[in-house]
């Protein structure tokens, strides 16, 4: 068992080194050799965990998706049932912030994921992973909106996803460089437009 734990820890350290390089140099600046140096291993050791550059990159973006997914599992969808108004906004915002760069860990994840989403446009090896992550996110948000009794939850989820994508891009690139406070305020304003101010929540049935 100790040897097994050591192997898993080493693999994690290699992926973390890949994250640091992706943040510092982008996808084009990352190589197995650079990852080896960054992780304090020789390149042969890195190849023990990852056969090639491609497998390491896929492992990195898969790791990001797993991290996000694990955090989201802390928020059971059924817990949203019956929430309305600001309570519903609070609960949904807490969930969605798990996908946004509101702290250093999530900022790193957002940068890594953005690098891969852009790369997937022209490199099909990344598409299965990024497409699955997008589908999972869409399902989580749609289910949450459905439990909150939002009208047309699938369509509304697409708008939420568009807002999240814009917030991530503006937060981790020079395109916008949103502060965390502004990011949170912008997300909250959109969620309030769905759950409090607008006609998005289905009206309660009457006895008429």
Res 123: pLDDT? 85
Radius of gyration of the chain (CA): 20
Q: What is the pLDDT of residues 70-128, one digit of tens each?
A: 999 999 999 999 999 999 999 999 999 999 999 999 999 999 999 988 888 888 888 88
User: Quick one: how far is CA 171 from the chain centroid?
Assistant: 13
Delimiting residues of CATH 1.10.10.60 domain(s) in the chain = 1-51
- pLDDT of the residue at 188: 98
Cα gap 13→26, rounded to integer Å = 18
Q: What is the pLDDT of residues 132-159, one digit of tens each?
A: 999 999 999 999 999 999 999 999 999 9
* The predicted structure's pLDDT at residue 207: 44
Return the pLDDT at 101.
95
Question: Per-residue pLDDT for 2 more than 60?
Answer: no
Residues, the chain:
208
Phi–psi pair at 201, nearest 5 degrees: -90, 130
34 within 8 A of 21, measured Cβ to Cβ: yes
Q: Is the pLDDT of residue 28 over 60?
A: yes
Does the pLDDT of residue 206 top 60, yes or no? no
Q: Where in the chain is the domain with CATH 1.10.357.10?
A: 62-197
The top-level CATH class assigned to 1-51 is mainly alpha
pLDDT of the residue at 198: 64
Q: What is the mean pLDDT of the chain?
A: 89
Question: Domain 62-197 is classified in which CATH homologous superfamily?
Answer: Tetracycline Repressor, domain 2 (1.10.357.10)
pLDDT at 208 > cutoff 70: no
Residue 35 · residue 46 · CB < 8 Å: yes
């Amino acid at each position: 068992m100790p040897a097994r734990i050591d192997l898993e820890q080493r693999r994690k350290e290699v992926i973390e080194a890949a994250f640091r390089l992706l943040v510092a140099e982008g996808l084009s600046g990352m190589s197995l050799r650079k990852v080896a140096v960054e992780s304090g291993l020789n390149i042969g050791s890195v190849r023990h965990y990852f056969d090639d550059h491609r497998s390491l990159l896929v492992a990195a973006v898969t790791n990001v998706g797993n991290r996000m997914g694990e955090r989201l599992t802390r928020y059971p969808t059924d817990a949203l049932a019956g929430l309305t108004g600001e309570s519903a906004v609070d609960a949904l915002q807490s969930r969605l912030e798990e996908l946004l760069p509101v702290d250093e860990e999530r900022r790193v994840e957002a940068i890594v994921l953005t690098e891969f989403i852009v790369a997937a446009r022209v490199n099909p090896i990344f598409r299965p992973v990024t497409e699955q992550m997008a589908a999972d996110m869409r399902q989580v948000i749609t289910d949450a909106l459905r439990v909150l009794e939002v009208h047309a939850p699938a369509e509304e989820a697409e708008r939420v996803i568009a807002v999240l994508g814009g917030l991530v891009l503006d937060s981790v690139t020079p395109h916008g460089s949103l502060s965390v406070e502004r990011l949170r305020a912008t997300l909250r304003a959109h969620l309030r437009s769905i759950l409090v101010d607008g006609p998005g929540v289905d009206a309660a049935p009457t006895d008429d």
